[in-house]
């Protein structure tokens, strides 16, 4: 299966070190992929490194489709998912929270604008 890579999604997470990548590659080679690669509209949401490794060494992988209203909602999910992982530095966590704050503020403004339009249309 050929999946799409969205640069905005991929670049949200800090890259693995070469040692981390090689350990993951060795693990996948020995035991296969334990978690499905998460996708939205055939685009990787979580599992970029697993996908790259599977393509390199020809290992089968499963995917699981997630549903989001739009790209911002997908990005918010990616950030929240990453915040639950233990390998983030405090700096990474602050960066993620600032990105999430921006997305939530944008969504709140859109919701307020929509509510204002609906209210004015009812008058």
CA distance 45 to 55: 17
Looking at the chain, the whole-number percentage of residues with pLDDT higher than 90 is 56
Q: Which pLDDT tens digit goes with each residue over 90-113?
A: 887 888 888 888 888 888 888 888
The pLDDT of residue 34 is 93
Q: How confident is the model at residue 123 (pLDDT cuts 50, 70, 90)?
A: low
Per the structure block, which two tokens stand in for 70? 């739009």
Q: Which pLDDT tens digit goes with each residue over 43-74?
A: 999 999 999 999 999 999 999 999 999 999 99
Domain boundaries, the chain: 7-122
CA distance 56 to 18: 15
The pLDDT of residue 104 is 87
Chain centroid to CA 114? 27
């Amino acid at each position: 299966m050929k999946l799409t890579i969205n640069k905005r999604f991929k670049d949200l997470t800090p890259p693995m070190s070469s040692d981390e990548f090689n350990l993951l590659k060795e693990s996948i080679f020995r035991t296969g992929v334990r978690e499905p690669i998460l996708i939205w509209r055939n685009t990787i949401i979580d599992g970029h490194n697993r996908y790259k490794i599977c393509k390199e060494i020809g290992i089968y992988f499963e995917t699981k489709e997630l549903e989001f209203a739009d790209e911002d909602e997908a990005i918010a999910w990616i950030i929240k998912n990453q915040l639950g992982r233990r390998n983030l530095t405090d700096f990474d966590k602050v960066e993620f929270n600032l990105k999430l704050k921006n997305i939530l503020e944008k969504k709140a403004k859109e919701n307020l604008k929509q509510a204002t339009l609906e209210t004015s249309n009812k008058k």
